[in-house]
Structure 1
Amino acid sequence: MKLYFEAEKFLKQSEGNLQSKVFNDKNLKSNPKHIYALVYSTLKYKEYIQQIITKSKINKQLKISNELLALLIHDLLFSSRGRIESGKHHIKDSFLANKTRLQAEFIKLKLKYKVKSVDQLPTVEQDDETPIRWFRINTIKIDPERFFKKHKLNLQPVSRFQDLTKPGLIYQDDHIPNLYGVHPKEKITTSTEAYKLGEIIIQDRASCFPAYILNYKDEHSKIIDACAAPGNKTSHAASFVEDVVYAVEKDSKRVGILKQMSEKATGKNKKKLIQVLHQDFTTIKPEDYEDVTGLIVDPSCSGSGIFGRAMDEETKNSDRLEKLASFQFTIMKHALSFPGARKVVYSTCSVHAEENERVVVDLLSDETVKNQGWTLADREVVLSTWERRGIEDEFMTLTRDSEVIKKLAGGCIRTIPKEDGGIGFFAACFVKK
C-alpha cells in the first residue's frame, strides 16, 4: 500500500508539472517511475473512475480520501494487471470486500460507452496538469529587475500566454504586476534556487487576484487572510502592506505549512510582517482587530475549478454544495462584521454559482450586512481589464434593473479552467459605503 499512499499526495496537488513534482521528490520510498505512471493513468481515467465511485457509493463505506480510492479503483479495474499491489493492509482488505460491486459498475460503464476494453474509452491526455506554470516575483525579498539580472533565465518574451508553446519563452502578465508565465516543462520548479530562497512564489494566476484586488487603489496597514494555508495569497498580500498580515488557519497540519511558507517569503528582516494565528477564524472577536481594514476570505469549496474536478459528479452534488455555501456565507458574514473593515474580497476555486454568485446575493440580501453598508465594488477597482465577470442572471433575485445587475456582476470576476491559463476561479469585492 506504500505506493498508493505516496501517489495520493500527487493526485491531490493541482498545480505544477506532474513529472517534475514526482521525480524531484527526494523523500519517496517507492520507484518514482511507478508513482508517475500510476498517477498519470489515474488522471487519464479520472472521469470514469469518479462515475464508478458515485454509482457504487463505496466512498460512503470506506473512510479514506477520494484520491486514494481513485488510485485503488484504477489498479483494480483500469490497469492491465487488474490487481492491487501486494502486501497486507486493512484498507486493502476493506476495499477488496467491494470487488464484485465495483466490477459490476465497471461492466455497466463499458456498456454505457459501448466499448469492450479500457483503452477504447475516450480520454483527454494528461500531458500536464496546467497549461502554464505561473510564478510571482516576491517583492518582499527582491525586485524584478534585480531578480532577472541575478538568475539570468535567458527566456524570450512573448506577448500572450497562449504563445507559450515550448520551453525557452516567458510571458509577463497583463493583469497582475510581477507575475510571469512559462511553459509547464520549463525548469522553474520548487527545486529552483529562486524558489528555495523565497524570491519567487509558484502560484496559479487566478489565485493572485484576491490580494491585488484588495490593495488596488487602496492602502491597508493591517489585513487578515481568513483561510490562509498554504500561504501563497498571504505572502502576496504581505507584499502590499507595511505593518502586518494576520494569517488565520485552524488546521494544525496546514498551520505548519503556512508558517514555513511565511518564513520563506518574508525572511529574517521582516519576519513580523506575517503573523500566523492558529485558530478558527469564526471564533475571532472582530472588536479585537479594530484597526484591520481589509480581509481576504478564500474558504473551503468544492474545488470544481481545479483541473480534472470540473467533471466530477461529486463536485455537483447539491447537498454538498448547499453545505459548502452555508459555511461560505457564515465565514463571509463574520468577515464583514469587522468594525474597521472597508474592503473584503471573497474567492473560491469553484465554477458553481451556488458557491459564488449565490453566496454573494445571500450576503447582499442579509439585513445585518445591508445595515453595515456593504455592497459590491465597481468594476473599475475589480481588475477592470479582465473580461469575464459574474453571471448577470444570478443577480436578478435582487433587482430587475439591467444596469444595476450589470454593475453588481461587474464587482465579480470569473476564470475558466485552462482556457484562461490556469484554474477556474471566482472573486467578488465587497466595499463599505
Structure 2
Amino acid sequence: MALYVKAAEVLEKAERKQGALKTLVYDSKFKNIKQLFALVCETQRFSSVLLDIIESTKLLKQTKLKLHLAQVLVYDLLMGQGLKCGGSFKTTMMKHRPRLQAELARMKVKRKVSRNEDLLPAEAQLPSGEQLPRYVRVNTLKTTVEDVVDYLKRDGYTYQGQASRLDDLTLKEKSFVKDLLLPELLVFSSKTDFHDHFLYKAGHIILQDKASCLPAYLLKPPSGSHVIDACAAPGNKTSHLAAIMKNKGKLFAFDLDAKRLATMSTLLLRAGVTCQQLAHQDFLKVNPDSPQYKDVEYVLLDPSCSGSGMVCLQDRSSADQTRLASLAAFQLRCLNHAVRFPRLKRLVYSTCSIHSQENEEVITAFLQQNSSFRLVPLLPQWPERGLAPLSQCLRASTSKTRTHGFFVALLEKHSEALSSTLQLADQIRSTPFYLSKKTVALEASDPEDPQTPNTEDAPSGKRKRPKRKKKKME
C-alpha cells in the first residue's frame, strides 16, 4: 500500500513542477527506490492511456480514489506485474477489474493494435525491444577497474573484454564488457541490478548512465586544480570529478535544496570523496571575485532542464514552449555567471534535454555575448553531433549511443576566439534554429529573481535598451 501512496505523491509533485521526477523519487526516502522509480516512470509514460480508461469507466466517482493514486493502481493492475498490496486498495481494484480490462481491450480494438505500447503517441513509444544497458562507473578513489572485473568474475559474471562497437553493448544476463570509449565504465545487461550488491554499497561502483559520465570526463580537471560543480546534486558528476582530480585540490559544489545536498553528502562520503566543499547556496549569488575562488579554472554546469532526454518521461519530443524559453533564459544566466570567475579556463555545459532551445540555442546566444570563448571540438568518433553548425558539441540518444538523451558542450577561454565566433555567428544565421529576438534576449531575466539551478522553471524578462538621441542636422 505504501508503494502506491508514495508513487501518487511523487506524480502529483512532478505535475506541480516541485522537482524533477528522479529527484522527487530519491527525496521520498522510500525503502525500495528502484521499484518506486519504475512504477512512477511507467505510470507517467502511460498517463494519457490511463486517464482515458479512468474517465471512461468513471472510476474516481465510484471509488472515491484520487486521480494520481488511481493511475498507479490501474497501471499495475492492467499493465504492470499485478497489484503489490492487500487490504482496501486491492479489494476496490479487483471489484472494478473486469470493467477496466474491458475498456483497455476496447481501446486496442478501436485503434487496431495488440500491444499496450502501441496505444501511446509515437513520440512516447520506445523502439521495439529497446532496453538501455546498465552502466556502472568504477570509482577509482576506492578501487581499480581490474580489481572490480576480477571481483565480478569470481561472483559469477562473464567478462567479454572491451567493446569495439555499439552492438557489443547488447548483453546477456551475467555478462559484461568494458565500454568502448570511457575506460572506467563497465556495461551490463539492462536487467542487472546492483542496488543490493556489495560493490555498490561500499562505494566501489557508481550507477551512472554513460551520457551522464561525459561532462566530467571531457572537462578533465588535473589533480590539484580548483573546480566548481555549479548545480551539483545528486552528486554523481561531483564524485566523478573528484576521482579524476585524485581527491587533490578543491571541488566547490553548490545546491540550493537542503535535502538534495544532504543526499549528495551521503553519496560523496560513501564514494570516499574528501576534496569537496559543499555549499547550501544559489550558484547565481556566488561572488566570482571572492578570494576563495581566485584559483578556480574549471567549471561543470549541468543546470535544471526539461529532462526530456530521460527515457522514462512521456512525450519526449514536445514541450511547453513558454517553459522551454524560461528554462533557456535561466540556463544562459548560469552560463554567463559561470564565466565571470577571473581565472576560468574551461567550462562544460550539459543538459539531459533533447530540445535545441536548451542546447544549441543557449550555446549560440552565449557565444554571441562572450567573444573570448570558443567551442572545443569533442570526440570525433562519437556518433551523434550537435545540430549544425555546432558539430563541435555532442548529443546522445537511445538509438545512436544507447544512452539517455543528452547534450554536452565544452567552452574554452581563448584570446583568438573572436574571429571564429564571428564566423560561427554568420553560419548560425542560415540555420533553421537561428535565434529569434525573444531568444537572443534570454539573458534579460530579472537579476533579483529567486530561481536557482535546482528549480524546474526560471522566469524570463526583457531588458529595455536606452534610446539613442538623434543628432540634429546642421
CA change 1:71–1:413 in 2 (3 A) is farther
The equivalent residue for 2:82 is none
TM-score of the two chains, using structure 2 as the length reference: 0.66
CA change 1:80–1:148 in 2 (3 A) is closer
The equivalent residue for 2:298 is 294
1:253 has 2:250 as partner: no
- Which letter maps to 1:349? C
**How far apart are the structure 1 equivalents of 2:67 and 2:213?**
32
**How far apart are the structure 2 equivalents of 1:121 and 1:174?**
33
Q: CA deviation at 1:244?
A: 1.9
**How far apart are the structure 1 equivalents of 2:130 and 2:280?**
32
CA change 1:116–1:340 in 2 (3 A) is closer
CA change 1:304–1:47 in 2 (3 A) is farther
Q: Residues 418 and 424 of structure 1 are in contact (CA less than 8 Å); yes or no, is this contact kept in structure 2?
A: no
**1:90-101 paired onto structure 2 within 5 Å:** none
The equivalent residue for 2:471 is none
The equivalent residue for 1:397 is none
Select the residue among 345, 350, 362 that pairs with 1:347.
350
**1:316-327 paired onto structure 2 within 5 Å:** 316-327=319-330
1:389 has 2:385 as partner: yes
**How far apart are the structure 1 equivalents of 2:9 and 2:166?**
28
**How far apart are the structure 2 equivalents of 1:141 and 1:318?**
44
CA change 1:383–1:71 in 2 (3 A) is farther
The equivalent residue for 1:58 is none
The equivalent residue for 2:220 is 215
Q: CA deviation at 1:418?
A: 5.0
CA change 1:240–1:3 in 2 (3 A) is closer
Output one character per residue of 1:56-96: Cα deviation in whole Å (capped at 9) or x when no partner: xxxxxxxxxxxx96553454699669xxx9879xxxxxxxx
> Identical aligned pairs, as a percentage?
31
- Which letter maps to 2:296? V
Output one character per residue of 1:120-171: Cα deviation in whole Å (capped at 9) or x when no partner: 9535589999520000100111121223334434323163453333112212
Q: CA deviation at 1:110?
A: 5.5
The equivalent residue for 2:46 is 45
**How far apart are the structure 1 equivalents of 2:408 and 2:38?**
35
SS in structure 2 of the partner of residue 256 of structure 1 = helix
**1:215-364 paired onto structure 2 within 5 Å:** 215=220, 221-241=225-245, 242-266=248-272, 271=274, 273-288=275-290, 289-309=293-313, 311-312=315-316, 316-364=319-367
Q: Residues 221 and 244 of structure 1 are in contact (CA less than 8 Å); yes or no, is this contact kept in structure 2?
A: yes
**How far apart are the structure 2 equivalents of 1:180 and 1:78?**
32
TM-score of the two chains, using structure 1 as the length reference: 0.71
Q: Residues 226 and 247 of structure 1 are in contact (CA less than 8 Å); yes or no, is this contact kept in structure 2?
A: yes
Q: Residues 249 and 279 of structure 1 are in contact (CA less than 8 Å); yes or no, is this contact kept in structure 2?
A: yes
**How far apart are the structure 2 equivalents of 1:415 and 1:76?**
33
Q: CA deviation at 1:316?
A: 1.1
Q: Residues 220 and 294 of structure 1 are in contact (CA less than 8 Å); yes or no, is this contact kept in structure 2?
A: no
* C-alpha RMSD over aligned residues: 4.2
Q: Residues 325 and 357 of structure 2 are in contact (CA less than 8 Å); yes or no, is this contact kept in structure 1?
A: yes
1:424 has 2:420 as partner: no
Q: Residues 229 and 249 of structure 1 are in contact (CA less than 8 Å); yes or no, is this contact kept in structure 2?
A: yes
CA change 1:70–1:176 in 2 (3 A) is farther
**How far apart are the structure 2 equivalents of 1:419 and 1:47?**
28
1:165 has 2:171 as partner: yes
Q: Residues 175 and 383 of structure 1 are in contact (CA less than 8 Å); yes or no, is this contact kept in structure 2?
A: no
The equivalent residue for 1:99 is none
Q: Residues 129 and 307 of structure 1 are in contact (CA less than 8 Å); yes or no, is this contact kept in structure 2?
A: no
**How far apart are the structure 2 equivalents of 1:293 and 1:167?**
43
- Which letter maps to 1:324? L
Q: Residues 115 and 121 of structure 1 are in contact (CA less than 8 Å); yes or no, is this contact kept in structure 2?
A: no
- Which letter maps to 1:317? D
CA change 1:38–1:259 in 2 (3 A) is closer
Output one character per residue of 1:259-304: Cα deviation in whole Å (capped at 9) or x when no partner: 01111112xxx52x12211111111111121101000000110100
1:135 has 2:132 as partner: no
Output one character per residue of 1:221-261: Cα deviation in whole Å (capped at 9) or x when no partner: 11010011110000001112221211111101100111011
Q: CA deviation at 1:173?
A: 1.2
The equivalent residue for 2:119 is 122
CA change 1:5–1:328 in 2 (3 A) is farther
- Runs of 5+ consecutive residues of structure 2 not aligned to the other structure: 12-19, 55-65, 80-85, 90-99, 415-474
**How far apart are the structure 2 equivalents of 1:309 and 1:212?**
26
**How far apart are the structure 2 equivalents of 1:125 and 1:343?**
36
- Which letter maps to 1:429? L
SS in structure 2 of the partner of residue 208 of structure 1 = helix
The total of aligned residue pairs comes to 362
